[in-house]
Amino acid sequence: MRIDRFISNNSCYSRKDVRKLISQRRVTIDDLRVVSVSSRVTAEAVVRLDDEIVEARGERYFMLHKPAGYLSASSDGHHQLVFDLLTDEDCSELHVAGRLDLDTTGLLLISSDGQWSHRVTSPKKKVGKCYRVTAADPVTDDYVQQFAEGVYLRYDDVTTRPAEFVITGSHEGLLTIHEGRYHQVKRMFAALGNRVEELHRESIGLLPLDDGLAPGEYRALTSEEVALF
């Protein structure tokens, strides 16, 4: 792995920051001063920044404020990918924990830890995903009751698990679901004769989207946030 990626993956510094640190001759590999950002770090190498050892963190966890128009996938020939937004990260071992549709915005979790991601997304864990929904037609109290009882999805021939719906405006509400079927929120509204015009994921479980992140921005999760799942 390149030295700039190694340090950015295992510290609070971005790759841009690391390039500056290297230009200031503050980084060494096996006691040799690093002069190029393309210097390679082997598994056995000892990396130091200002004489402090930089240790590999292991698994990585991020939250991204996903904008519309980005695909939650690792490869695609037609659309921009959410991983394109992680400009300072080595994304080769990262994956999305709970995808969002191309036009859906909001909280997206990305990690290298498969078991952790399984706990986030597995229906057996019943982790709630809260979405802010803007509908084409008005929403009424009937929606609250029908979502709580479960909505029949004809294509899957199943009834959704009970969901919580809080009306926040004539055409808006917060819907919390506890499973993750294909286009589920849009199909639930369609089953009631309505259409979703805007969809934004506010939170997953007890983890809300950081309101300090603008669309397209991301940050590492804290250890406390990782431990929520």
> How much is the pLDDT for 57?
72
Structural fold of domain 3-53 = 3.10.290
> How much is the pLDDT for 90?
77
All residue ranges of the chain with pLDDT < 70 are: none
Numbered ranges of CATH 3.10.290.10 in the chain: 3-53
Numbered ranges of CATH 3.30.70.1560 in the chain: 128-204
* Strand-by-strand arrangement of the 32-33 sheet: 32-33, 27-29, 47-49, 52-53
pLDDT in tens, 46-89: 999 999 999 887 789 999 999 999 999 877 778 899 999 998 88
Numbered ranges of CATH 3.30.70.580 in the chain: 61-122+207-226
> How much is the pLDDT for 3?
94
- Give strand pairing partners of 80: 70
> How much is the pLDDT for 62?
96
> How much is the pLDDT for 166?
98
CA R_g for the chain: 21
Catalytic residues: 101
**CATH architecture under which domain 128-204 falls:** 2-Layer Sandwich (3.30)
CA distances from 200 to 162, 172, 197, 207, 227 (A): 20, 11, 10, 15, 24
**CATH architecture under which domain 61-122+207-226 falls:** 2-Layer Sandwich (3.30)
Which are the contacts of 51, defined by CB distance < 8 A and separation ≥ 6? Answer: none
Work out the end-to-end distance of the chain between its first and last CA atoms, rounded to an integer number of angstroms: 29
